Amino acid sequence: MRLTLCVRLGALALSAPAWAGGGSPFASAMLGYHPGLVPDPMYTNPNVAIGSPERFTGEVFNFPGAVTPFNPAFGPDEIVSVGGGGHLILGFDHDVVDDPNNPYGFDFLVFGNAGFIDWDWPNGRTSPTAAMFGVGAPAVVHVSYDGFDWRPVLGQVDRMFPTLGYSDLTDPYALTPGQVLADFTKPVNPAVSLGDATFASIIAAYDGSGGGAGFDIAPTGLAAIRYVRFMNPAADASAFEIDALADVSPIPTPGVLAPLALFITAWPRRRGRDR
């Protein structure tokens, strides 16, 4: 008889998303909105900015399609416009932390409805300069922890990186959803260059991310925030669009090697033949 011991060790990840306890990684409350000078009153429902960015768009217009960098969300039930002089305030249900483990320093992501112009329609290829359509008017973004002390953060909304709903699509104008959900809490590497890029190479560059514009809280001096305010200082009707707002997932750290389970297995092992 031979006794075999099997000891299994597992690594415990110490860093977990702040919403792991059952909250939402996305904006959970709409706390203020003024449309400003908006060219199209159809896009003035601010509650559509609550919850996840869109993965599939166009249903209300009978033009359904997966959201890709070549086919951004365009439904009035999906995106809201903020015109000249307007603003939008969104809130999270948890602290969005300036976590040193957040990729590229980005602590939250803003999703708009800009997309890449297709230079090889309908195959999906960007121009040499990755020219875009639907780019919004410049937004001024402030963050706050208590709703009183607002501090500016640097970044551009409704531009790079356009939203990608699924990571397994091969058709940039897919009429049906993909199977692999892109991660809306993972930023795209800001060093990525997407000029003259095919749809396949864009998906590869996104590396599982669902896109969005990254913002870093650190320069504000705040350790965490709960509210984000978007203002449009334009004096005319040029607008930007907001689809959603997301907290960023920290990169899991290896943490402490901890014994998750200790299995001791013993069984008799018969010799092949009696000797």
Prior bond to 122 cis, omega within 30? Answer: yes
Q: How far is the CB of 186 from Ca ion (least distance, A)?
A: 14
Is 95 an interacting residue with respect to Ca ion (CB under 5 A)? no
Residue 88 or 197: the one with the smaller Cβ distance to Ca ion is 88
Choice between 126 and 214, CB closer to Ca ion: 214
What minimum distance in Å lies between the beta carbon of 247 and Ca ion?
Answer: 11
Looking up tokens 């920290």 gives 250
In this chain, which of 218, 224, 237, 238 binds Ca ion, going by CB under 5 A?
Answer: 218
Which CB sits closer to Ca ion, 130 or 150? 150
Q: Tokens standing for 254?
A: 């290896």
Residue pair 112/194 in contact (Cβ under 8 Å)? The answer is no
Interface residue with Ca ion among 44, 67, 98, 184 (CB under 5 A) is 98
Cα distances (Å, whole numbers) of residue 118 to 130, 172, 209, 254: 9, 10, 21, 41
CB of 44 to Ca ion, least distance (A): 14
Cβ pair 65, 89 in contact under 8 A: no
Rule CB under 5 A: is residue 18 a binding residue for Ca ion? Answer: no
For residue 243, state whether it binds Ca ion (rule: CB under 5 A): yes
Using DSSP, state whether 48 is helix, strand or coil.
helix
Q: Which two tokens stand for residue 151?
A: 């501090």
Report which of 69, 53, 58, 75 is spatially closest to residue 162, judged by C-alpha positions. Answer: 69
In DSSP terms, 111 is beta-bridged to: 244
Q: Which stretch binds Ca ion (CB under 5 A): 155-163, 207-215, 235-243, 246-254?
A: 235-243
216 lies in the binding site for Ca ion (CB under 5 A) = yes
Query: Considering the rule CB under 5 A, would residue 244 count as an interface residue with Ca ion?
Result: yes
Which residues are at the interface with Ca ion (CB under 5 A)?
A: 48, 78, 98, 105, 107, 216, 218, 243-244
